[in-house]
Structure 1
Amino acid sequence: MPPRTSKTTALRVAVLADSDTRWKWGALTARRLTTGTPDAPRTADRPVEITGLLLRGRATPTPRQLAEVGDVGIETGRVREVTAVEFLDTVRNEGYDIVVLALVGGAVQAMLHGLAALRLAARPVVVTGYVGVVYEKLADGLLLRHGADVVLANSRHDAERFRAVYEGVGAHASAVTEAALPFLGGAPHRRQEGRETVVFAAQPSVPASRADRTYLLRRLVEHARLHPDREVLLKLRSKPGEHTTHIEELPYQRLADRLPGGLPPNFSLVYGHMGEVLDRTDLLVTVSSTAALESLHRRIPTAILTDLGVRETLGNHHFIGSGLLTSWDRLDGGSHPEPDEKWLAGQGVAADGTYDTAYDTARARVDALLAEHRLPDLTPYYTPATAPGYLPGILARHHLAPDGHPLPGAAAPRETGGVRGAVRDAVREAARGAYRQGVQRVAPVIRRMGEL
């Protein structure tokens, strides 16, 4: 049978993301699967068109956040927001060959059921995965992603765990495909005379409490005072009021404003693309940020803090056996941990030079699926029969019925152009602003008041 798509037409890819970090992962994954790496592009036999879509919600990235993600090969002006129902309608009308779902697990599950309900004669190949270290809700997150044609694992370690979960519940595990994080890269670390820069990679929700976050900030500032010859940077993910993949209710910026004694002159808050910050980093310190894997890929000295314990809720338990666990006391004394090479080999950081081939298997799998005359129906593990008390709620959050079809009233056609279209867009923008104000500013205050 002939392939579903012609080699003379463009390969059409849609990336649907719900946060800045997932947008970065999804867009770069689409590039790695279709055109290779920016430095070593794949010789494609057909042009590639990648469309960027942002799922509207509390963490929808702002233009500033999109710009700071860095070059992902898609102009920000070509990226648009959609609801879940609008996304499904776009897939039905545009005829994509590949769809990359860069979403939280529940949203992936909803889109899988929504796509299945479209009953397309030639449906797209569906790809999903994780944006970083998988240290919590392993079974829950994986089963919500089950049903995609390709579930990318960022390392051999993850691939083995993913298959074990699927096989353990009796679900097929053939979709699990080993790859790597798509945003690793940059020049290997080289120490420069007269320069020593320490960077603390902050996380929005780890740790969560004011006391723990204040402690980490205080120790970072004390490190700067102890070593006035070092440049100490606090790398932040977002500005107050912005959301990323996780909610940040206690921004370090506000804690820093209240720190007794102020900030020393060699201490700075920095934003921007993580790769650019790593270009000048000589020691990366974090609790459990994915930035640690980026740092290790470039052979930058990296430290995982144990000051608050080694706990599943912090995610630093993922680094047991890495040789990277240490404390501020040791770092203050000049100690730098050395990574365990065996541990590194299983984590997909590809510091051994194999990164250029990390997506070969995934790319071959996608190419094989594209060559099929007709793909089988999407069959997620969760169905109204297997999870009747769980699945309907997940789908309803995205205005989908238990069978994957839009709920009544959710699929009203959009008016375009004219006064009514302009009014609709203005009302929608105002509603979106009110929603963000509620979830990003008002709700955290109410929660904190409730803890008093």
Structure 2
Amino acid sequence: MPSRTSAAVRIAVLADSDTRWKWGALTARRIAPEDSRITGFVLRGRATPTARQLAETGAGTGAPREVTGAGFLRTLREEAYDVVVLALVGGTVQAMLQALAAAPPHPRPVVVTGYVGVVYEKLADGLLLRHGADLVLANSRHDAERFRAVYEGVGADASAVVEAALPFLGGAPYTPRAGRDTVVFAAQPSVPASREERAYLLRRLAGHARLHPHREVLLKLRSRPGEHTTHVEEHPYQKLARGPLPSNLKLVHGHMGEVLDRAGLLVTVSSTAALEALHRRVPTAVLTDLGVREALGNHHFIGSGLLTSWDALDGGHRPVPDEAWLAAQGVAPHGGYERAFDAARARVRDLLAGPPLPPPAPWYTTATAPGYLPGVLARHRLDTAGAAPAAGPVRRALRGAARSVYRHGVQRVAPVIRRLGEL
């Protein structure tokens, strides 16, 4: 059989939200052999990104095709992809792996997966749901060590873990200059979760703007009303900010890289935007005002030198990052970033050049997790053999209509009802 590296390599990226599409599409470009062709797919569901959200990711690939999970599996068998990047929540990754194990395409594609940012919760759960992929990408040396420890600790093969980096780091390095006095607060859809804590952050941001009337203060939002992201946003800042705001405080959307081009300080609770800013040497602050808690994710930044409060920032403090911490987190502000994907690229190349791949072998089976795996698969309409029950044309049509109605209700009707309830 001729090597699959002798012709253009076909790569399929499947994502289930805007942030995962950004990670998946850019990862595919980073690890792709030369002359690769990348085709994108997004899962139809609550968090299916809009055209605006897709454009703002800066992924630079063509518009992805919207599919169901079953439809994507059919496509893999019909269109013969060489590499598949699964940019999905852990349970959906596991469902795809089980389905590929039950009925693998021929030849079976190389399967790549990973995380879209900082891994601060559900480490073991998420990793074991991703086990069975050929590459489980770690965004830093710190993550790679943790990932291998989890797999080895349960007796699972850890060889799929490959150290890489976040694929969207880049942009022009920060240089202090006169007039560059913009403070950017990177909002997160679910951190913090409560209305009271989010209102507090907005008040402090507005207070900072009033204290520094000549400073531009930006609240960088992830979504517009009616749009959904990876996490549900119960209390959008747009709604909390209906009262009068200082004239120098603005709510903005857009590509994070473009916002960082103007930033003199990036402030966040625990957003991955902090790593983007640090990579460019933009001064960065991680807030402790609401505590340093696992639920907030800012515990990940212990030892970074970045933890501080609004009181300190109001007084002019600018945190100085710890260089050893930066290196362990895959942030390479002084060079070396472009080599971060060499190992992953080489692993993909070797797998494509080698013998046909066997079916995936996830650690979760009906022997290792008989009380857990069936429920994970049932949520994706798969049985424990990784097969989907046959559905006739009428049932498929009803399912499609039901999904459309549900999505319209969640993205359009529900926000209107919430607004009316507050009148």
Band of TM-score, shorter chain: over 0.9
Query: In the superposition, relative to structure 1, how do residues 64 and 448 fare at CA in structure 2: closer, same or farther (>3 Å)?
Result: closer
Structure 2 Cα separation of the partners of residues 224 and 4 of structure 1: 60
- Answering whether residue 16 of structure 2 is matched by residue 34 of structure 1, we say no
- Which of 12, 15, 20 lines up with 1:14 in the alignment? 12
Q: State the partner residue of 2:4.
A: 5
Any idea what the Cα deviations from partners look like across 1:347-388, whole Å, max 9, x if unmatched? 001112010100001101111111112112210011122111
Q: State the partner residue of 2:208.
A: 223
User: Counterparts in 2 of 1:272-421, with a 5 A limit?
Assistant: 272-409=254-391
- Which of 432, 435, 449 lines up with 2:406 in the alignment? 435
| 2:112/2:137 contact within 8 Å kept | yes
- Answering whether residue 225 of structure 2 is matched by residue 240 of structure 1, we say yes
Stretch moving more, 382-391 or 297-306: 382-391
Any idea what the Cα deviations from partners look like across 1:295-321, whole Å, max 9, x if unmatched? 000000000000000000000000000
TM-superposed CA distance for 1:412, in Å, is: 5.2
- Answering whether residue 41 of structure 2 is matched by residue 53 of structure 1, we say yes
- Answering whether residue 71 of structure 2 is matched by residue 73 of structure 1, we say no
Any idea what the Cα deviations from partners look like across 1:155-213, whole Å, max 9, x if unmatched? 00000000000000000000000000000000100122123000000000000000000
Structure 1 Cα separation of the partners of residues 417 and 197 of structure 2: 20
TM-superposed CA distance for 1:431, in Å, is: 4.1
Query: In the superposition, relative to structure 1, how do residues 6 and 255 fare at CA in structure 2: closer, same or farther (>3 Å)?
Result: closer
Q: Which amino acid aligns with 1:436?
A: R
When normalised by structure 1's length, the TM-score is 0.89
Query: In the superposition, relative to structure 1, how do residues 84 and 157 fare at CA in structure 2: closer, same or farther (>3 Å)?
Result: same
Query: In the superposition, relative to structure 1, how do residues 209 and 113 fare at CA in structure 2: closer, same or farther (>3 Å)?
Result: same
TM-superposed CA distance for 1:64, in Å, is: 1.1
Q: State the partner residue of 2:183.
A: 198
Counterpart secondary structure, 2:4: coil
Q: Which amino acid aligns with 2:89?
A: V
| 1:3/1:373 contact within 8 Å kept | no
TM-superposed CA distance for 1:445, in Å, is: 9.3
TM-superposed CA distance for 1:73, in Å, is: 3.3
- Answering whether residue 235 of structure 2 is matched by residue 250 of structure 1, we say yes
User: Counterparts in 2 of 1:175-214, with a 5 A limit?
Assistant: 175-214=160-199
Structure 1 Cα separation of the partners of residues 415 and 155 of structure 2: 40
Structure 2 Cα separation of the partners of residues 220 and 306 of structure 1: 14
Counterpart secondary structure, 1:52: strand
Query: In the superposition, relative to structure 1, how do residues 133 and 6 fare at CA in structure 2: closer, same or farther (>3 Å)?
Result: closer
Q: Which amino acid aligns with 1:246?
A: H
| 2:11/2:36 contact within 8 Å kept | yes
TM-superposed CA distance for 1:439, in Å, is: 3.4
Structure 2 Cα separation of the partners of residues 207 and 378 of structure 1: 37
TM-superposed CA distance for 1:441, in Å, is: 6.2
TM-superposed CA distance for 1:437, in Å, is: 3.7
Counterpart secondary structure, 2:382: coil
TM-superposed CA distance for 1:120, in Å, is: 2.9
Structure 1 Cα separation of the partners of residues 152 and 419 of structure 2: 42
Query: In the superposition, relative to structure 1, how do residues 444 and 385 fare at CA in structure 2: closer, same or farther (>3 Å)?
Result: farther
* RMSD of equivalent CA atoms: 2.2
Structure 2 Cα separation of the partners of residues 191 and 34 of structure 1: 36
Counterpart secondary structure, 1:110: helix
Counterpart secondary structure, 2:263: coil
Structure 2 Cα separation of the partners of residues 270 and 215 of structure 1: 19
TM-superposed CA distance for 1:447, in Å, is: 10
TM-superposed CA distance for 1:119, in Å, is: 3.1
- Percent identity, aligned pairs only, is 72
Counterpart secondary structure, 1:177: strand
User: Counterparts in 2 of 1:137-148, with a 5 A limit?
Assistant: 137-148=122-133
Any idea what the Cα deviations from partners look like across 1:60-119, whole Å, max 9, x if unmatched? 10111111112x23122xx21111110100001111100000000000000001111123
- Which of 20, 23, 26 lines up with 2:21 in the alignment? 23
When normalised by structure 2's length, the TM-score is 0.95
| 1:4/1:122 contact within 8 Å kept | no
Structure 2 Cα separation of the partners of residues 284 and 103 of structure 1: 28
